Amino acid sequence: MWENASRCCRANGEADPETGTAGAQVTPSAEGYGGGMLDVVVFPSVLGMRPGVHAAADRLAAAGFRPHVVDVYDGGLTFDDYDEAMAHMQSLGYDTVLTRARQAIDELDPDRMVLLGFSAGVVPAQIIAATDPRAVGCIALSSVLSVAALELDEGWPADVPLQFHTMDADPWLEPDQVEAIQAELGDQVQVFTYSGTGHLFTDPSLPAEYDADAAELLWSRVEEFLRAIDED
């Protein structure tokens, strides 16, 4: 499943002496910001807790939402190289990453939440959005999986809208997954494409991928999506 997600990652942390895995670390990014009533749970890409992730949380908080960044690597580790990052994520294993993600959300215990994932972070975002009754929306940035690829027991919930953003020439883009989820969800999914090749194009700390104009348009659409959910 990680291969379908977009093959990108990074992390760290001491293992729990009983479980052998490090616990998920929730960064309460909205602490001190005030924020609104809608919680937005953010999962970084395989590159980990890069500046772009924190910038995204700052933007969401300034827009009146309550973001929480989940560090499934545990320890704030970041990568510059996709191959090294993906190797690290694969060494952790899909089950460990998903377990840490769920533990972090259980600690937060939100009433209503939107799950937002960057690249490989889309995997836990989509799975939790589809299986946790507290989820009211999902935002997939730079990667998306079809419902079939997610291997869900009960399919995608009818009351959880999905928004997906990607560059049209992103080398990690998998058009078959985009076409599949559009066919599966119909009007329940919004797909936005931007002209360019950057993968994590909202992250200013990645100058080879960053596109300021596309990023601004993306976040304006994300905020509109969240406001519509918050007002529902």
Average pLDDT over residues 43-60: 94
Q: Which two tokens stand for residue 17?
A: 């002496």
> Tell me, what's the pLDDT at 36?
59
Average pLDDT over residues 175-190: 94
The secondary structure of the chain, three-state, reads CHHHHCCCCCCCCCCCCCCCCCCCEEECCCCCCCCCCCEEEEECCCCECCHHHHHHHHHHHHCCCEEEEEECCCCCCECCCHHHHHHHHHHHCHHHHHHHHHHHHHHHCCCCEEEEEEHHHHHHHHHHHHHCCCEEEEEEECCCCCHHHHCCCCCCCCCCCEEEEEECCCCCCCHHHHHHHHHHHHHHEEEEEECCCCCCCCCCCCCCCCCHHHHHHHHHHHHHHHHHHHHC
The CATH number of the domain holding residue 161 is 3.40.50.1820
Distance CA 39, CA 35 (A): 9
Distance CA 75, CA 70 (A): 11
> Tell me, what's the pLDDT at 23?
42
Which band of pLDDT confidence, cut at 50, 70 and 90, is reported for residue 202? very high
> Tell me, what's the pLDDT at 232?
80
Q: Is the pLDDT of residue 225 over 90?
A: yes
Could you tell me if 37 and 66 are in contact, meaning their C-beta atoms sit under 8 angstroms apart?
Answer: yes
Q: Is the pLDDT of residue 33 over 50?
A: no
Could you tell me if 42 and 57 are in contact, meaning their C-beta atoms sit under 8 angstroms apart?
Answer: yes
In which residue are the tokens 């009983």 written? 18
pLDDT in tens, 56-98: 999 999 999 999 999 988 788 899 999 999 999 988 888 888 9
Q: Is the pLDDT of residue 18 over 60?
A: no
Give the least confident one: 28-37, 43-52, 94-103, 134-143.
28-37
In which residue are the tokens 């730079």 written? 142
Could you tell me if 200 and 36 are in contact, meaning their C-beta atoms sit under 8 angstroms apart?
Answer: no
Residue percentage of the chain with pLDDT more than 70? 84
pTM of the model: 0.86
Domain interval for residue 98: 2-231
Domain count, the chain: 1
Which band of pLDDT confidence, cut at 50, 70 and 90, is reported for residue 17? very low
Average pLDDT over residues 103-116: 93
